[in-house]
Structures are given as structure tokens and as C-alpha cells.
């Protein structure tokens, strides 16, 4: 996929991704009022990523990243783009990945409408559970 097309699709998905990240932020903060959410940031070199990070006591605690992934150019069955949500803890520790339509032949799509629908239909409960569990662990009293 051409870089211009990729960026165009990413830009078209950004509003619905920001809405989903706002849902995640609200749910995490309701369960963990002692932490703060940082501004959503865009980063990435080879693929564009939207990141939402949470901090407590001015230190990173957990984060969730939205990725728009390109197909494998060597595999003609993987034509188009896919979405995934990655969660991480301190030091970038991987906490899990949610991939809508994973393990189906329809993982990759070239229709922006299908990709938007996947973002909208992402069940945030798994993401929120992983993030809040890690926050609870980080806030647990340490044995002396």
C-alpha cells in the first residue's frame, strides 16, 4: 500500500479512534481516580500510532496504543490494513494485544468503512481490565 493511501486511511480513522480512546480513558479513570491521563499523541516511523498513556506520581504507569497495520506484501491473502490495540506497562512491558477480526480470513481490509466499524465495535472491557489490573499491581503496597 502506498504511503499516501496509508496516511489517508489513518487520518480517516483518527476521529473514531479518538472517541474509542476517550471511552477507554473514562473507564480507566473511573476505576483509578488516583492517576491521570496524558494527552493522546501520534507517533511512529513505519506505521502511525495513536497513544494514550496514564501516569501516577508523575511517572508512567500504563498505556494503550492504536496501530494501523499494513498487509504482508508477500501474502496475497493479506490485502489491505488491519487494526490492533497494544497495552504496555512500565518500561514498555507488553501487557497484551487486542486485534478485532483476529484469526479470521477477513483480518485485513481495504475498505475504510470496515476498518471504522472494527474500531467502533472494539470491546474496551478487555483493554480496561488489563490496564486497571496493572495499575492495581503498581499501587499495591510493597513488602518491606
The per-residue pLDDT for range 16-42, each reduced to its tens digit, is: 999 999 999 999 999 999 999 999 999
Phi, psi of 60 (to 5 degrees): -60, 135
Query: What is the CB neighbour count within 10 angstroms for residue 49?
Result: 16
pTM, two decimals, is 0.87
Query: Angle 136-94-89 (CA atoms, 0-180°, nearest 5)?
Result: 35
Distance CA 131, CA 11 (A): 26
The per-residue pLDDT for range 101-130, each reduced to its tens digit, is: 766 667 888 889 999 999 998 989 999 999
Please give the grid coordinates belonging to residue 91.
Answer: 518500561
Amino acid at each position: 500500500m502506498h504511503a499516501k493511501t496509508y496516511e489517508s486511511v489513518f487520518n480517516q480513522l483518527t476521529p473514531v479512534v479518538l472517541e474509542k480512546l476517550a471511552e477507554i480513558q473514562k473507564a480507566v479513570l473511573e476505576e483509578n481516580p488516583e492517576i491521570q491521563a496524558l494527552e493522546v499523541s501520534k507517533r511512529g516511523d513505519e506505521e502511525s500510532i495513536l497513544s494514550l498513556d496514564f501516569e501516577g506520581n508523575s511517572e508512567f504507569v500504563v498505556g494503550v496504543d492504536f496501530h494501523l497495520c499494513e498487509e504482508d506484501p508477500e501474502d496475497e491473502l493479506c490485502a489491505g490494513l488491519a487494526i490492533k490495540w497494544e497495552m504496555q506497562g512500565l518500561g514498555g512491558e507488553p501487557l497484551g494485544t487486542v486485534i478485532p477480526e483476529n484469526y479470521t480470513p477477513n483480518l485485513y481490509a481495504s475498505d475504510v468503512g470496515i476498518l471504522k466499524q472494527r474500531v467502533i465495535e472494539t470491546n474496551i472491557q478487555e483493554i480496561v481490565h488489563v490496564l486497571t489490573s496493572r495499575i492495581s499491581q503498581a499501587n499495591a503496597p510493597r513488602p518491606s
